[in-house]
Copies of this chain bind each other. A is one copy, B any other.
Amino acid sequence: MIVIMEPGATPEQIAAVQKRVEEFGFSTKLAPGAERMVIGIVGVPLPDTLKEALERLPGVEQVVRISKRYKLVSRDFHPVNSVIRVGDVAIGGDDVVVIAGPCSVESEEQIITTARAVKAAGAKLLRGGAFKPRTSPYDFRGFGEKGLKLLAKAREETGLPVVTEVLSPNEVDLVAEYADVLQIGARNCQNYLLLEAVGRTHKPVLFKRGMAVQLEEWLLAAEYIAAQGNDQIILCERGIRTFETYTRNTLDLAAVPAIKRLSHLPIIVDPSHGTGRWQLVPAMMLAAVAAGADGLIVEVHPNPDQALSDGSQSLTFENFATVMPQLARVAEAIGRRLPLPETTSEYAMMAPAE
């Protein structure tokens, strides 16, 4: 941490900073500049409290943090990529992994049909919401445990492991009983008690970035999970909130190579929430893989115009099956693989969509 004094700071003010640092048990080094004194603080880890305390002292202009505040999820301390295994699937290795399925589980037929269709097109995991956070209390909020059971049934039928969201510490055990991967949604990115609750399970966690959360804050939030002993964390970029209104969110694809530099954790991309418009989803799937994402999570629905939620951003089976072979070619172009089933589906054999 570095303390930058104001130009006219007095020797007494400088001494007061040094004294305060020593009270916290750390030592200082003075580095006089042309216009101002700079005070370096030696020690690790330096708490936020110290930063805030020093910012208050007279004569202090600014306090700059130097060391990173996250450790367990940092690439500095774990240079090799982490690979998260879910059944036979490895996320964070050479293969690009696609997770697909409806926003909400709506019926046995819907979820099983979808599971079969996305599996036939090359998806490796099934997504589906049983507990749904909704902006309005008057909207459909999911089937709860019944939805979990239908997901389990779809897994039984197809062999696809399932990913589903958990909303509250109280529901972690219930959801973990059925799900292969626990999803933390964007609204809960800084719900620290929930993060700790999933951190205490042994399940992989698909951890979405919050709508107003910077990369460093996201990694600090992931640190909450890791600090409880669960390092099976898959980060998921799903768009941030900006002034642009044409898209539902602004998908921050530069987060993919950025996270790869900062952390050893795998990162996947959600182009459905990232754009909110199904017409933009295929292009952003291709872009995400080209950017180096370890996978995708995509909304697919048998009849999006009948969906109980997120219909406007869901792909049809045909849309999904059409883009998958292109996605495999892009993966190959950058030296990765996206293995497709040998018997390609009827859609995959069709000409690429416009």
Q: How far is the CA of A70 from the CA of B52 in the complex (A)?
A: 26
* A window 224-267: CB within 8 A of B: 224, 227, 240-247, 250-254, 256-258, 261
**Could you tell me if B254 and A241 are in contact, using CB atoms closer than 8 angstroms?**
no
Structural contact, B38 and A33, CB atoms closer than 8 A: no
Chain A residue total in the interface (Cβ 8 A): 116
Is the CB–CB distance between B247 and A245 below 8 Å? no
Q: Select the stretch in A85-93, A108-116, A122-130, A274-282 that faces chain B.
A: A274-282
| A84-140, CB < 8 A from B | 133-140
**In whole angstroms, what is the CA distance A67 to B4 when docked?**
9
A311 is contacted by which of B31, B52, B307 (Cβ under 8 Å)? B52
Instruction: Identify the closest chain B residue to A306 (Cβ).
Output: B53
Contacts A38-B66, A136-B220 given; does A326 touch B334 at CB 8 Å: yes
Given the interface contacts A44-B34, A139-B49, does A247 sit within 8 Å of B251 by beta carbon? no
Task: State whether A215 touches B307 (Cβ < 8 A).
Answer: no
Nearest B residue to A197, CB-CB? B168
Q: Are B139 and A168 in contact (CB under 8 A)?
A: no
Q: How far is the CB of A190 from chain B (nearest CB, A)?
A: 4
Q: How far is the CB of A107 from chain B (nearest CB, A)?
A: 15
Q: Does A36 contact B (CB under 8 A)?
A: yes
Are B352 and A335 touching (Cβ within 8 A)? yes
The docked-state distance in angstroms from the alpha carbon of A191 to that of B186 is: 10
Q: Which of B56, B277, B314 contacts A305 (CB 8 A)?
A: B56
Chain B residues with Cβ below 8 Å from A242 are 240, 242-243, 250, 252
| A42 CB–B CB distance under 8 Å | yes
**Chain B residues with CB under 8 A of A253:** 251, 253, 284, 287
Q: Would you call B252 and A250 a contact (CB within 8 A)?
A: yes
A352 to B221, CA, bound (A): 33
Neighbouring B residues of A326 by C-beta, 8 Å: 333-335
Q: Provided the pairs A215-B246, A240-B244, A333-B333 are in contact, do residues A283 and B291 lie with their beta carbons within 8 angstroms?
A: yes
A146 within 8 A of B: no
Query: A287 is contacted by which of B52, B69, B192, B287 (Cβ under 8 Å)?
Result: B287
How far is it, in angstroms, between the C-alpha of A143 and the C-alpha of B66 when the chains are bound?
A: 29
| Interface positions of A (Cβ within 8 A of B) | 2, 4, 7, 20, 29, 31-36, 38, 40-45, 47-49, 51-57, 62, 64, 66-67, 69-70, 76, 133-140, 167-170, 187-188, 190-194, 210-212, 214-217, 220-221, 223-224, 227, 240-247, 250-254, 256-258, 261, 274-275, 277-280, 283-284, 286-292, 304-312, 314, 326, 329-330, 332-335, 352
Pick 8 A–B contacts, CB within 8 A, sort by A.
A7-B76, A20-B305, A49-B307, A169-B169, A212-B243, A216-B246, A240-B250, A286-B291
